[in-house]
C-alpha cells in the first residue's frame, strides 16, 4: 500500500493551520466543522426547548402570567400573559428550530461531518472548502431565523409546515417580515444541506480506505449515505417551494393563492414531497448510530447486517412514495389517499426488520450498559412506540379522527425526541472522547438518562389520550371547549413534567461543559470498539491519518472466536487475512 502513503494528503497533520481563525472558525477540517455544527445545533435545541416551555405554560395554565414572562414585550406577553398571536409564533418557531436547526444538523451536520471520514479512513471530506461553506450557510440561515424572532410584527406564524394561503398572505396571518425571513432562512439552509449532501455522497463513494468495501461500512455510514441522497433530492424541492412562497408574499405572484388561480394544495404537495423524506433524514442517522452503539454495547455483531442495509435503502426509497399521508383530510382525491395509505403501511416493514434485528443483536450478548448503550436501547424502545402509533394514522379511517390532534403530536415526539434525541444523547456521549479527548461523566450521564427517560414518557405518553379525546394541535386555549375541559388536569400534569424534563437537561449541559475541562483523559479506544476512528489519538489530528489504514473486515466483529478479546478492530491483520486489492475500496 505504498501508493496510498504517497498520496498528496499524507502528512497533513504537519500542515495543520496554526492561527486561531483558520483552525477553529474558518476551518476546513471535517472534525472542527462537525464540532461547529454541534455547538450551533445544541444552541438551537436549547432555544427550541425554551419556546416549548412557554407553550406548555399556556396550555397548562392558560391566561395566567408566566413566571419570568414579564421580560417579554407587550406585543408577545403583556404582563407575562401569552397572547394568541405570540402562541402561534411559539408553535411555528419551536417546530422550525427543532426540525431544521436542532435535530437535522445534530444528526447530519455533526455526525455526517465528524464520522464519515473517520469511519472510512479518509483524510477529510472530498471537498473541504465546500464543507466549510455548508456550515457557514447553516450559520447564516440560523441567524436569519433567529433574527425573525425580533422583528416588530413577530416571527412566522403558520406552523412549521407553513401551509398556504395563510403563509402566503400577510394580511391574513398578520406577519409580513417574519414570514419572509422564514423563507429566506429556509432557502439558505437548503443550500447548506445540498452542499453538505454532495460532499458526504462523494466522500463515501470515493474516499474509502483500501479494504473498506460497501458491505464493510458501519451502518452509521450507510444511513448517513442514504440520508445524504435524500437530502440532496429533497431540499431543492423545499427551497423551490420557499422561493415561490416568498414571491407570493412579496411580489404578488399567485402560486398558492386561490382568488387569482393559485393552488393551496400545491404547497402541501411540495412541502410534504420534501417533508416526508425529511422525516427519514431525521431518523435514519439515529438508526445507524444506534446500530453501532448497540453492537458495541452487546459485544456482538449486528444481527442481519445485510438486511439492515437493505432496510435503510428500502426506507430511503419508499420514503418518496408516502408524502400524501399527511394530506388525507386536505381535500386531496380520496383514491390517492388509498394508494398513499398502502405505501405507508408497506414502509412499516423495513422499520420492523430493523427493530427485530436490534433485538437480535442484543440476544445472547454480553450487554454493557454504558451511557451510550442505555440511550441507544431507549432509542429502540421509544422509536417502536412512535412507529406503532404511526399505524393508527396510516389507517385512513382512524386518521379522520386523530389527524391534527395531540395523537399526532405524541407520535412525532416519540419518533423525534424518543427516537432521534435519545440516539443523539448516546452518540454525543459515545464520540465525545473522539471530539474532545475527554470522557463525559458516567454517573451523571446515567442520572440524566433515567430522569429524561421517565419524564419524557410522562410528558408525551398522555398526549395519546388527549388526541383520542379530540384535543386539537396548535390551539392557544383548550379550556374554551366544553369537551376539552375535563382534560385540563392532564394538560397541567404534562406541563409540570415538561418543566422538570427541561430542567433535567441542565445535567447533560453541565456534564458536557464541565467534562470539556475536567473530564478524565480518554484512552485511545474507550469503548473497545472496532471502528477505524479509534485507531487514532483522541482528539484526532488534522488530516486524521499520516498513512491511510487498511481494512480487513467489517465493523462489528465483536466476540469473534478468532481472538482472545471480545473485539477485533477493522484494521488488525490476522495471519489469515489477505491484503485487499487496491481497487476494492477506491482511491483515498
> By CB under 8 A, what part of segment 252-271 binds other proteins?
258-259, 262-265
321 binds other proteins (CB under 8 A): no
Q: Are 407 and 464 in contact (CB under 8 A)?
A: yes
368 binds other proteins (CB under 8 A): yes
Q: Which residues of 65-100 are buried (b: 16+ CB within 10 A; e: fewer)?
A: ebeebeebeeebbeebbbbebbbbbbbbbbbbbbbb
Minimal distance in Å, beta carbon 562 to other proteins? 9
Q: Decide whether 46 or 388 has the Cβ nearer to other proteins.
A: 388
Q: Find the binder of other proteins among 61, 137, 303, 422 (CB under 8 A).
A: 303
Angle between helix 128-147 and helix 30-60 axes, rounded to 10 deg: 20
Minimal distance in Å, beta carbon 496 to other proteins? 16
Minimal distance in Å, beta carbon 551 to other proteins? 17
348 binds other proteins (CB under 8 A): yes
Q: Decide whether 228 or 309 has the Cβ nearer to other proteins.
A: 309
Q: How many residues bind other proteins (CB under 8 A)?
A: 102
DSSP track, 160-203: TTT-TTTTT-HHHHS-SHHHHHHHHHHHHHHHHHHHHHHHHHHH
Minimal distance in Å, beta carbon 464 to other proteins? 10
Helix (H, G, I), strand (E, B) or coil at 405: strand
Q: Find the binder of other proteins among 330, 505, 525, 528 (CB under 8 A).
A: 330
Q: Decide whether 208 or 553 has the Cβ nearer to other proteins.
A: 553
Q: Are 120 and 536 in contact (CB under 8 A)?
A: no
Q: Are 186 and 100 in contact (CB under 8 A)?
A: yes
Could you give the CA distance from residue 386 to residue 409 in angstroms, rounded to a whole number?
Answer: 10
Q: Decide whether 127 or 356 has the Cβ nearer to other proteins.
A: 356
205 binds other proteins (CB under 8 A): no
Q: Decide whether 118 or 378 has the Cβ nearer to other proteins.
A: 378
Q: Find the binder of other proteins among 77, 112, 235, 384 (CB under 8 A).
A: 384
Handedness of CA 53, 58, 60, 65 (dihedral sign): positive
Q: Which residues from 91-110 bind other proteins, rule CB under 8 A?
A: 91
Q: Which residues from 172-191 bind other proteins, rule CB under 8 A?
A: 172-174
The one-character DSSP state at 134 is H
495 binds other proteins (CB under 8 A): no
Q: Which residues from 407-466 bind other proteins, rule CB under 8 A?
A: 465
385 binds other proteins (CB under 8 A): yes
Angle between helix 422-436 and helix 284-298 axes, rounded to 10 deg: 70
Q: Decide whether 199 or 298 has the Cβ nearer to other proteins.
A: 298
Q: Decide whether 114 or 303 has the Cβ nearer to other proteins.
A: 303
Minimal distance in Å, beta carbon 34 to other proteins? 30
Determine phi and psi for 438, rounding to 5 degrees. -130, 160
480 binds other proteins (CB under 8 A): yes
Could you give the CA distance from residue 434 to residue 527 in angstroms, rounded to a whole number?
Answer: 11
Q: Decide whether 213 or 263 has the Cβ nearer to other proteins.
A: 263
- From the list 68-76, 337-345, 425-433, 522-530, the region that binds other proteins by CB under 8 A is 337-345
- From the list 11-19, 126-134, 243-251, 401-409, the region that binds other proteins by CB under 8 A is 401-409
Q: Find the binder of other proteins among 7, 240, 253, 299 (CB under 8 A).
A: 299
Minimal distance in Å, beta carbon 348 to other proteins? 5
Q: Decide whether 5 or 266 has the Cβ nearer to other proteins.
A: 266
Q: Find the binder of other proteins among 391, 500, 503, 581 (CB under 8 A).
A: 391
Q: What angle (nearest 5°) sits at the alpha carbon of residue 104, between those of residues 238 and 201?
A: 80
Q: Decide whether 265 or 507 has the Cβ nearer to other proteins.
A: 265
Could you give the CA distance from residue 244 to residue 168 in angstroms, rounded to a whole number?
Answer: 9
Using the structure block, give the residue that is written with the C-alpha cell 472558525.
Answer: 25
- From the list 8-16, 26-34, 111-119, 377-385, the region that binds other proteins by CB under 8 A is 377-385
Could you give the CA distance from residue 224 to residue 533 in angstroms, rounded to a whole number?
Answer: 16
Q: Which residues from 55-84 bind other proteins, rule CB under 8 A?
A: 84
Q: Is 351 exposed, middle or buried (0-12, 13-18, 19+ CB in 10 A)?
A: buried
Could you give the CA distance from residue 236 to residue 533 in angstroms, rounded to a whole number?
Answer: 33
Minimal distance in Å, beta carbon 272 to other proteins? 14
DSSP track, 43-87: HHHHHHHHHHHHHHHHHHSTTSPPTTGGGS-TTT-GGGPPPHHHH
Q: Decide whether 31 or 300 has the Cβ nearer to other proteins.
A: 300
Q: Decide whether 331 or 523 has the Cβ nearer to other proteins.
A: 331
Could you give the CA distance from residue 384 to residue 407 in angstroms, rounded to a whole number?
Answer: 15
572 binds other proteins (CB under 8 A): no
Close Cβ partners of 506 (under 8 Å, ≥ 6 residues apart): none
Q: Are 93 and 54 in contact (CB under 8 A)?
A: no
Preceding omega of 539 cis (within 30 degrees of 0) = yes
CA atoms within 13 A on the CB side of 370: 22
Q: Which residues from 114-173 bind other proteins, rule CB under 8 A?
A: 157-159, 163, 165-166, 169, 172-173
483 binds other proteins (CB under 8 A): yes
Q: Are 535 and 571 in contact (CB under 8 A)?
A: yes
Amino acid at each position: 500500500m505504498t501508493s496510498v502513503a504517497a498520496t498528496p494528503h499524507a502528512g497533513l497533520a504537519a500542515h495543520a493551520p496554526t492561527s486561531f481563525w483558520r483552525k477553529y472558525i474558518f476551518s476546513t477540517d471535517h472534525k472542527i466543522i462537525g464540532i461547529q455544527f454541534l455547538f450551533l445545533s445544541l444552541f438551537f435545541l436549547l432555544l427550541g426547548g425554551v419556546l416549548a416551555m412557554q407553550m406548555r405554560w399556556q396550555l397548562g395554565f392558560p391566561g395566567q402570567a408566566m413566571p419570568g414572562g414579564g421580560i417579554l414585550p407587550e406585543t408577545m406577553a403583556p404582563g407575562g400573559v401569552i397572547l394568541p398571536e405570540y402562541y402561534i409564533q411559539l408553535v411555528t418557531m419551536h417546530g422550525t428550530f427543532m426540525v431544521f436547526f436542532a435535530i437535522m444538523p445534530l444528526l447530519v451536520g455533526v455526525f455526517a461531518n465528524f464520522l464519515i471520514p473517520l469511519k472510512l479512513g479518509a483524510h477529510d471530506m472530498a471537498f473541504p472548502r465546500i464543507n466549510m461553506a455548508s456550515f457557514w450557510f447553516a450559520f447564516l440561515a440560523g441567524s436569519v431565523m433567529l433574527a425573525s424572532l425580533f422583528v416588530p410584527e413577530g416571527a412566522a406564524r403558520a406552523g412549521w409546515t407553513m401551509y398556504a394561503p395563510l403563509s402566503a398572505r400577510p394580511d391574513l396571518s398578520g406577519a409580513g417580515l417574519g414570514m419572509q425571513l422564514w423563507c429566506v432562512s429556509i432557502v439558505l439552509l437548503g443550500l447548506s444541506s445540498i452542499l453538505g449532501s454532495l460532499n458526504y455522497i462523494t466522500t463515501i463513494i470515493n474516499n474509502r480506505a483500501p479494504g473498506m468495501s460497501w458491505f464493510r461500512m458501519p451502518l452509521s455510514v450507510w444511513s448517513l449515505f442514504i440520508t445524504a441522497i435524500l437530502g440532496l433530492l429533497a431540499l431543492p424541492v423545499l427551497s423551490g417551494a420557499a422561493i415561490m412562497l416568498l414571491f407570493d408574499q412579496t411580489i404578488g405572484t399567485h402560486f398558492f393563492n386561490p382568488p387569482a388561480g393559485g393552488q393551496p394544495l400545491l404547497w402541501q404537495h411540495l412541502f410534504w414531497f420534501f417533508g416526508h423524506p425529511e422525516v427519514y433524514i431525521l431518523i435514519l442517522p439515529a438508526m445507524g448510530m444506534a446500530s453501532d452503539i448497540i453492537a458495541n454495547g452487546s459485544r456482538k455483531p449486528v444481527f442481519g447486517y445485510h438486511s439492515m442495509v437493505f432496510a435503510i435503502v428500502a426506507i430511503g426509497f419508499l420514503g418518496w412514495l408516502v408524502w400524501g399521508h399527511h394530506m388525507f383530510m386536505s381535500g386531496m382525491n380520496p383514491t390517492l389517499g388509498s394508494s398513499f395509505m398502502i405505501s405507508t403501511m408497506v414502509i412499516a416493514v423495513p422499520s420492523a426488520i430493523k427493530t427485530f434485528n436490534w433485538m437480535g443483536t442484543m440476544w445472547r450478548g454480553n450487554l454493557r450498559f454504558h451511557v451510550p448503550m442505555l440511550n441507544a436501547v431507549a432509542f429502540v424502545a421509544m422509536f417502536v412506540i412512535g412507529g406503532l402509533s404511526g399505524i393508527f394514522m396510516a389507517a385512513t379511517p382512524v386518521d379522520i379522527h386523530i389527524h391534527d390532534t395531540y395523537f399526532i403530536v405524541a407520535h412525532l415526539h416519540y419518533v423525534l425526541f424518543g427516537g432521534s434525541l435519545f440516539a443523539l444523547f448516546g452518540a454525543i456521549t459515545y464520540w465525545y472522547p473522539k471530539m474532545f479527548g475527554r470522557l463525559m461523566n458516567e454517573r451523571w450521564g446515567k442520572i440524566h438518562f433515567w430522569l429524561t427517560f421517565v419524564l419524557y414518557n410522562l410528558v408525551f405518553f398522555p398526549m395519546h389520550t388527549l388526541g383520542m379525546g379530540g384535543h386539537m394541535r396548535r390551539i392557544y386555549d383548550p379550556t374554551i371547549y366544553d369537551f376539552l375541559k375535563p382534560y385540563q388536569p392532564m394538560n397541567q400534569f404534562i406541563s409540570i413534567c415538561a418543566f422538570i424534563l427541561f430542567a433535567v437537561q441542565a445535567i447533560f449541559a453541565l456534564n458536557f461543559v464541565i467534562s470539556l475541562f475536567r473530564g478524565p483523559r480518554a484512552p485511545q479506544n474507550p469503548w473497545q470498539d472496532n471502528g477505524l476512528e479509534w485507531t487514532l489519538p483522541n482528539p484526532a489530528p488534522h488530516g486524521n491519518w499520516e498513512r491511510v489504514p487498511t481494512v480487513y473486515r467489517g465493523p462489528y466483529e465483536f466476540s469473534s472466536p478468532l481472538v482472545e478479546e471480545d473485539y477485533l478492530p477493522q484494521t488488525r491483520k490476522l495471519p489469515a487475512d489477505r491484503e485487499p486489492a487496491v481497487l476494492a475500496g477506491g482511491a483515498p
